[in-house]
Structure formats: C-alpha cells, structure tokens
C-alpha cells in the first residue's frame, strides 16, 4: 500500500505534527456510525506505532494503517489539502474517500 502526499498537504501535516517524528494513522472511523461497515476515513497523529500497524509507503512522513482497517482502502492512495481549509481530500485510483478528512492529534489521548 502506498500514499502520495501533495506538497500542500505535507506542509499542513508537518505543521500539526511539529518537530516530533510522530506517525500518522489512516483509520476507518466507525464509532457512532452504526454497524462496522459504516464509517468515515480520518487521520490521527499518534505518539507511536502500534504492533498491528502496517506501513503505508511514501517518501515524506511515517503513515500507518491498522491491519484490520486496510481492507477499506485501495492499494494506491492520494492525499491533498486546501490552502485555507484545515482538512484533507483522500482519493484512490477508483474512488473518492472524502474531501473533508479530519486530522486528530491523539498524542495526548488514551485510546
């Protein structure tokens, strides 16, 4: 699995991550969405990787996905953002996953 991150999205991510080398996890967030197949993609900044995380290859920052969430995403992903709007657009070769993907900082949360 790989993800291409545009320069604009990369600047936004690095600004939120700061100087630490925290990984970003792509999740299929189904909490409060009914059954497990209903959900929305989200991005979480983590304090560290989990043993069940799979690496999503890219040349810029560490991005991971939980092994059981990987089935919801295509092999090739693309992440972009707007210059003036604090969210992301996630696409694959065959679909749009969302154009208002939120980024949550989970480094201070226990989850």
pLDDT of residue 70: 94
**pLDDT tops 90 at residue 82:** no
The domains located in the chain, with CATH, are 2-105 (2.60.300.12)
pLDDT of residue 37: 57
- pTM comes to 0.86
CA 64 remoteness from chain centre: 8
**pLDDT tops 70 at residue 111:** no
**pLDDT tops 80 at residue 90:** yes
Per-residue pLDDT of 32-77, as tens digits, reads 554 555 678 999 999 999 999 999 999 889 999 999 999 999 999 9
pLDDT of residue 19: 78
pLDDT of residue 66: 93
83: alpha, beta or left? (left if phi > 0; alpha if psi -120 to 50): alpha
Name the β-bridge partners of 64: 25, 55
Between the CA atoms of 77, 82, 85 and 27, what dihedral angle is there, to the nearest 10 degrees? Answer: 10
Q: CA-CA distance, 27 to 86, in Å (whole number)?
A: 18
């Amino acid at each position: 699995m790989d993800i291409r991150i545009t320069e604009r999205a990369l600047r936004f991510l690095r600004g939120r991550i700061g100087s630490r080398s925290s990984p970003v996890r792509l999740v299929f967030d189904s909490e409060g969405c009914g059954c497990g197949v209903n959900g929305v993609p989200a991005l979480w900044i983590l304090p560290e990787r989990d043993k069940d995380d799979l690496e999503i290859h890219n040349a810029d920052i560490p991005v991971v996905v939980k092994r059981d969430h990987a089935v919801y995403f295509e092999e090739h992903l693309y992440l972009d953002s707007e210059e003036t709007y604090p969210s992301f657009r996630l696409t694959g070769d065959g679909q749009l996953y969302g154009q208002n993907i939120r980024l949550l900082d989970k480094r201070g949360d226990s989850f």
